[in-house]
């Protein structure tokens, strides 16, 4: 059985500490803190065993998005050192995420899901998006996929 994302991150922290790679240790610890926060928040839903790897991929996607927005702001504010730090964190987070699907691959995935569940109109948008999130967590930019699905269903 393969390692869970949690185990993999814990191992990476140990390896980075041994190697003396402080920026990497810092980024990995940020990820661990976010996971812990997500676990604590999930307890209110009665899930005491922690969140799934799929939920963690969703969390990592949000973390990357936040950092990309920060990079943009730092570059506009002429703060290249802060932008570089954010980019380094993005690189570390993305190591734990599956490869992102291209626009053509995303379109094909949407079309396949639509065909499979019999989606024909915009009313089926919720079902299509829910199925995509189940199958492609962390692999698709769902903001873009939503627009694409809407155009295909409309």
- What is the band of 111 on the pLDDT scale with cuts at 50, 70, 90? very high
**pTM to 2 decimals?**
0.72
Examine the pLDDT at 2 and tell me if it is beyond 60: no
**Domain segments of the chain as ranges:** 5-94, 103-153
Q: Check if 5-94 and 103-153 are the same fold.
A: no
For residue 1, what pLDDT is reported? 33
For residue 69, what pLDDT is reported? 96
Residue 118 DSSP SS3: coil
Give 47's DSSP letter.
-
Q: Tell me which architecture the domain covering 5-94 has in CATH.
A: Orthogonal Bundle (1.10)
Residue in the structure block whose two tokens are 């185990």: 7
Express each pLDDT in 31-77 by its tens digit: 999 999 998 888 887 767 778 887 888 899 899 999 999 999 999 99
- First CA to last CA distance, the chain: 43
Q: Tell me which architecture the domain covering 103-153 has in CATH.
A: Orthogonal Bundle (1.10)
Where residue 78 falls (left for φ over 0; alpha for ψ -120 to 50; beta otherwise) is left
């Amino acid at each position: 059985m393969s390692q869970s994302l949690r185990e993999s991150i814990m191992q990476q922290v140990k390896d980075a500490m041994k190697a003396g790679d402080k920026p990497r240790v810092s980024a990995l610890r940020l990820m661990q803190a976010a996971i812990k926060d997500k676990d604590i928040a999930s307890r209110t839903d009665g899930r005491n065993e922690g969140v799934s790897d799929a939920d963690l991929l969703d969390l990592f996607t949000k973390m990357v998005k936040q950092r990309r927005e920060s990079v943009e702001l730092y570059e506009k504010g002429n703060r290249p050192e802060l932008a570089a730090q954010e980019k380094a964190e993005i690189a570390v987070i993305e190591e734990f995420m599956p490869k992102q699907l291209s626009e053509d691959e995303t379109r094909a995935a949407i079309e396949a899901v639509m065909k499979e569940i019999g989606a024909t109109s915009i009313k089926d948008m919720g079902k299509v998006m829910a199925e995509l999130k189940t199958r492609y967590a962390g692999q698709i930019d769902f903001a873009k996929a939503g627009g694409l699905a809407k155009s295909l269903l409309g």
